[in-house]
Structures are given as C-alpha cells and as structure tokens.
Structure 1
Amino acid sequence: MSEQLTNITQHQCQNAPAKYDDLKALFLNCTLNRTPVLSHTEGVIKIAQTIFEANGVQTKIIRPVDYDIPAGLGLDMSQTDEWDKDDWPQLQKEVDATDILVLCTSVWLGEKSSVCNRVLERIYGYTHLLNDKGQYRDYGKVGATLITGNEDGVKHCAMNILFSLSHIGYTIPPQVDAGWLGEVGPGPSYLDPGSGGPENDFTNRNTTFLAWNCMHMARLLKDNGGIPAHGNLPDAWDAGCKTDFKNPEHKR
C-alpha cells in the first residue's frame, strides 16, 4: 500500500468503532494461474487482507485452481460415476468456517474466470442444506468481490458475482466490489512495473471501503445472531407455514 493509505489505515484501525478479532475472512482467488505463478488479482487482495489483519480478522487466501474441482452440483462428485477425485468438499469446509467470503477473479472475454464460475456452481450445490436455525446455510455470512484485468468488465463481473452470492444467502453490504483495470489490450497488469495499479487511488479507496463495510456488516450479523429466522424457513414453508402469505382464498 502507499504511505498515505497505510497511515489512514493505521489511524482508522486505532479508532475503530468495534472489535473484529473474532471474525474470519476467506479470499477465493479465482485466478487461472496455479501457485506459485504470479497472480495480479492477489495484489489487490493484499490491500483488503492488510486491513482485515490490522483489525485482528483471521484471513486466508486460497486459489481454487490449485485443486481438483469437478463440474457438478453434488456434495462430493467423487461419489458419482463421472469423477474419481473431488477436492471441493475440503474447500467447502473453509467456506463454511468463514464470516466474510471475498470471491476474487480476473476478467476474461468480459466475464469472470471459468474457475470463478465453477466455484459458484459448487457452492450453489450445497444450498439445499440448512443452518442450525433451519435457514439456507449461507445466511448470516457476508459476501464481496475483487476483480482485475486488462479489459472492460469489472462492474459486469461484480453484478453477477454479488447477485449470485446474495441469491444463495450471503448478505451484501454497500460498496463491496472493487477492482483495477489496466489499459485495454496487452498492456501492463496490476503488479507489473509502471502499471500504476498499486498507486491507483480509486482502487485503493474502494478496496478499503470494501474491507471496512465487510467488517461492519459481519460484526452486526454476528452480534445479532445472523438473519432472524422468521419468514425464511424452507421446511416451515413446505409444511404449510406460509408466514403472512395470503393464498387466493385469503387464508393464512
């Protein structure tokens, strides 16, 4: 981070409105590059990670491309006839253990990466399971996204990712999408010398807002027991308890 951003971050951390040291944040870096190949997306991730960790939040960065993740919506695709190995269940445990999930991707052909799409599909495959209050399992968790690239598409990818996370139960705070785009074409990427990426004030500001808004929302949710379990229980609906929904005969 720039010296100015570091100073601002330190000041805000020293005067934060709450404690965040019981929170966990997971960055799923859906780069196409396997470790240890350089990931420019991880350069932006490090900004948010630094802010989280300065406030005591436990963080972890995982590149799903390092794992064998088959296509499909099953809990464990290795239990099907199509696939012999499936690493997704161990990644799902990481997702389940976190309070804040930041789904990160590079832009290719104006879209999120194929790895990012696969991750969302596999998370979606678990949504029929419920939490201990009987809600869909991702209620009470916070979602966000970070995006990099050398072509247009940050907002388009963010819309898709944040909608997908919201649809499966994540709470999306205000302004939790941030990214950086280099010059359109084969110009320098975020971490390349002379790119201007790490010094970009717009990216640094939005990534900082993202980190704080994720922490604020996760704090609110954790302190209040998540989303209230009223009017959003699938099993209750299936059993006929259709809270305040009036049928054509105006009966409850």
Structure 2
Amino acid sequence: MPIPASIQQFIDRQADAAPTSYGDLRAVVFNGTLKRSPEPSQTDGLLAISRGLLERLGVQVDVVRIVDHVIPPGVWPDMTTQGYDRDDFPRIYRELVEPADIILIAGPIWLGDQSSQTRTVIERLYAYSGEVNAAGQWSYYGKVGGVVTTGNEDGGKHVSAQVLYALQHIGLTIPPQSDAYWNGEAGPGDSYSDPGSGGPENAWTTRNTVFMTWNILHYARMLKDAGGVPTYGNSTHDWDLSHPDHPNPEYR
C-alpha cells in the first residue's frame, strides 16, 4: 500500500542522513492477515511504513502472507512427516528465515488476540529452534525480532507481549520498543487504511513504527558486525540434557 507523501518525505530525509549502511541486511516479514492475495490487507497499510524505511535503506525485505501458503499447524520442522500431504514452511524457512537478520511478525487483532495465521507461523518457527549453529547456539541467535499489529478493537499491547515473548524465547534478540500497533474505535469501526479512519495520520503510531524499525535496524547492524551473540556460557555443546526415554526434543 502507498505511504502518505508526508511520511515518505520523512523516511527519505532519515534514510539520507543514516549513520551507517544497512544494504547487507535481510528481513523477512510474516503477515498474519486472514485475507488471501490480492485482497488488500489492513496490516499491509501500517507495515508499509516499516517496509518503506527498510527498503529505502537497501535492506532486502521478503514478505510472506501466511494464508497464501500451505502451512499446517504443528511444532515439527516438516509436517509432511506427520501425515500432511504438503508443507510450504520448510522451503520458506530455508530460503527466507535462515538467511534473515530481522524477523518481523505482523497481523490483525481478532477477539483481542493475534490471528490464527500469526500463531501458526510462530509455532512453526518454534519447530526450528532446536537447530544449532557452529558454536552450539540455538538457530535464532543473532537475529532480531519485532511485531506490528492492527485492529479496530483493543489488544495491541497484549498481542505484542505474546509475540515478543515467543520470539525471545526461541532465541531472537528483542530491541527496546520493538512493537508498533494501531487500534481504531471499539465495535464495527474503521480499520487502519480505511478512508477517514485516522490511521495513517496518527502521529503516535507512525512515530512508534519508525522507532521500532530503527531499533531493529540498529540491533541487527550491531549483531551482524559483532558476528552474532557472544558464545561464552550459552553453547549447547557444554550441556547434555538428552532424555532417551522421552522422544520430544527439549525445546518443545
């Protein structure tokens, strides 16, 4: 969705004065809307601010609208091993998540909570959290997470709390103020991008979305330059917590 001209001009000014380069970074954005493409997503409207800034700075941004793919629920890396005929998530993980420096979870609020699509992709990300890097750290160490939420009911902070807890639990780094949301009036009111909603003109939401984007950029830059999270004291190579009598891996 197009960004209002005033916001685009602000993004351009900030990008032109950026303190360093970010062109070697990659981001994957999961949009948990319940609308299949090409139907417009309200979440895309708010995401456009963050995505616009990232792309203006040269970050490669890959957007996955979850509902457009066959992603079965579950906490196994490949759900075809559990009887499903098809599972698109292993390919998405290897091609987009594994090389990403930033993982951004976005979606709408339904009944005061995150959508079923958002929760499904968090569970599937969780399925890969048992993999380790060469240093023995969990697979998401060195990646940065954030969350964007839209809705016309309350629940923005609740969703942020759930998503950010899940991301840090599986190993992502969560910067300060790494969430942004917009809530319209309670009841059958306007959504973010509806004409007259006030969403794109809401300076508080726009400011927080810009802050969130810069914070995940700063932390992604720092971690990339440092070679990831320091490995001392957090390597699985130093521990043997296997339980032969219990087949579920520890991380589940």
TM-score norm. by structure 1 comes to: 0.91
Answering whether residue 152 of structure 2 is matched by residue 150 of structure 1, we say yes
Aligned match of 2:250: none
Partner of 1:115: 117
Shift of 1:191: 1.1
Greater shift after overlay, 230-239 or 121-130? 230-239
Gaps of 5+ in 2: 242-252
CA distance in 2, matches of 1:142, 1:51: 16
Report the counterpart of residue 250 of structure 1 in structure 2: none
> Structure 2 CA distance, aligned partners of 1:136 and 1:77?
21
Distance in 2 between residues matched to 1:3 and 1:193, nearest whole Å = 16
What is the alpha-carbon distance in structure 2 between the residues aligned to residue 16 and residue 132 of structure 1?
33
Of residues 135-144 and 27-36 in structure 1, the stretch that sits farther from structure 2 once superposed is 27-36
Please report how far the alpha carbon of residue 79 of structure 1 lies from its aligned counterpart in structure 2 after TM superposition. 2.0
Deviation, structure 1 residue 9: 2.0
- Report the counterpart of residue 76 of structure 2 in structure 1: 74
Alignment partner of 1:8 out of 7, 10, 13:
10
Q: Distance in 1 between matches of 2:196 and 2:17?
A: 34
What corresponds to 2:201 in structure 1? 199
CA distance in 2, matches of 1:31, 1:132: 35
Q: Which of 58, 61, 71 is the equivalent residue of 2:63?
A: 61
- Counterpart CA distance in 2 for 1:6 and 1:36 is 24
Q: Which of residues 159, 163, 167 is equivalent to 2:161?
A: 159
Deviation at 1:16, TM superposition (A): 1.1
* Residue type at the aligned position of 2:167: L
d(CA) in 1 for partners of 2:18 and 2:128? 35
* Larger CA Rg, structure 1 vs 2: 1
Q: Which position in structure 1 is the counterpart of 2:32? A: 30
Per-residue CA shift, 1:12-65, capped at 9, x if unaligned? 211111110000111100111111111000101111011011111111211111
Give aligned-pair identity as a percent. Answer: 46
TM-score (norm 2): 0.91
**TM-align CA RMSD:** 1.2
Q: Aligned residues, how many?
A: 238
**How far apart in 1 are the matches of 2:87 and 2:5?**
43
Query: Per-residue deviation at 1:235?
Result: 2.6
What letter corresponds to residue 13 of structure 1 in structure 2? A
Q: What one-letter code is carried by the residue in structure 2 that aligns with 1:124? A: Y
The alpha carbon displacement at 1:5 in A equals 2.8
User: Hey, what's the Cα distance between the residues in 2 that align with 1:2 and 1:42?
Assistant: 13
Q: Deviations over 1:133-160 (max 9, x none)?
A: 2100000000000000011000000000
Q: Distance in 1 between matches of 2:36 and 2:210?
A: 27
- Aligned mates of 2:47, 2:6 — CA distance in 1: 18
Q: Unpaired segments of 5 or more residues in structure 1?
A: 240-252
- Check if 1:87 corresponds to 2:88: yes
Select between 219-228 and 124-133 the one with higher mean Cα deviation: 124-133
- Distance apart, 1:96 and its partner CA: 1.1
